[in-house]
Amino acid sequence: MRQLAFSSLLAAGLTAIGFTTPAFANEAHALARYVISLGGINVAYMNVRLDVEGESYRLDLSADVTGLAQVVSQGAGSVNSGGRVTSTGLASSRFYLETRSQGERFSLETRYSGGNASDGIVSPPLAENPDRIPVTSSHRTGVNDPLAAFILRGPALDSSLCNRRFDIFTGIERFDMALRYADSQEATSTRTGYQGPVVLCTMRYIPISGHFTSSEITSYLADSTRMMTWYMPLDGSDFYIPYRVLMGTSFGDLSMVLVDID
């Protein structure tokens, strides 16, 4: 159960973070740092490192549970995404996730080619369960991984950034995230890693397949009307990354905030 709790925390961060590189650059190296809190209490830290060489990219994410959250779920996780830099963002060719907690290890590896994904290699293998919605070949077509997918690119920081839908396949689950414009605001807190204009987008989680019909988490996310992302511009480019993410839960708001960027 503790392993599942940490995996859920890491997954929540994955579905909310995107990071990329200045336009037209053929080499870039950057690091973004986020703090994750639940009900106002810091529960984890997340680092995302980007390396771009020519037309290829590599994203490395690491997360560690901290503070009082360690009483419930001690653990750490890492994610690697790699593939091609395109005119519209990042196109994944591989995705790898690993979590470790209380001596338990879970890993998932998925390959992508031309937007089509393979079934994920899972360790330990998933147990057969009649409650799980089958994943069909059409569910693995026209998809991206859950880290590379969440990149916004556009001509300006305005409402047009939010009106889009992401088709995501992790290797075991297909879901979509629909974004809609809500507001244009100003980030002013000096305790964060950015001060300046942001665009607020609402998010809607749409489960497609690979999930369990009896999953309370899936049902809660699908019914939630309190999922939001504030996007900020990445200097010197036409890309935008999350400044803040907020998801309402029965335990209080789950929030992720950028605290530093190099």
CA distance 223 to 208: 14
Q: Where is average pLDDT lowest: 3-7, 12-16, 28-32, 60-64? A: 3-7
CA distance 2 to 203: 27
Mean pLDDT, to the nearest integer, of 215-237?
A: 88
Look up residue 137 and give its DSSP letter.
G
* % of the chain surpassing 90 pLDDT: 52
Instruction: Tell me the pLDDT band of 14, cut-offs 50, 70 and 90.
Output: low
Mean pLDDT, to the nearest integer, of 84-107?
A: 86
Q: Which of 81, 90, 45, 96 is nearest to 241 (CA)?
A: 90
pLDDT at 68: 41
CA distance 166 to 137: 18
Q: Is residue 128 within 8 Å of residue 216, measured between CB atoms?
A: no
**63-67, 231-235, 238-242 — which one is most confidently predicted on average?**
231-235
pLDDT at 79: 93
Chain centroid to CA 224: how far?
Answer: 17
CA distance 169 to 119: 9
Mean pLDDT of the chain: 84
Q: Where is average pLDDT lowest: 18-22, 42-46, 128-132, 189-193? A: 18-22
pLDDT at 197: 97
Instruction: Tell me the pLDDT band of 4, cut-offs 50, 70 and 90.
Output: very low
Q: Where is average pLDDT lowest: 68-82, 185-199, 211-225? A: 68-82
Radius of gyration of the CA atoms of the chain, in A:
17
pLDDT at 242: 87
* % of the chain surpassing 70 pLDDT: 84
Instruction: Tell me the pLDDT band of 12, cut-offs 50, 70 and 90.
Output: low
pLDDT at 27: 58
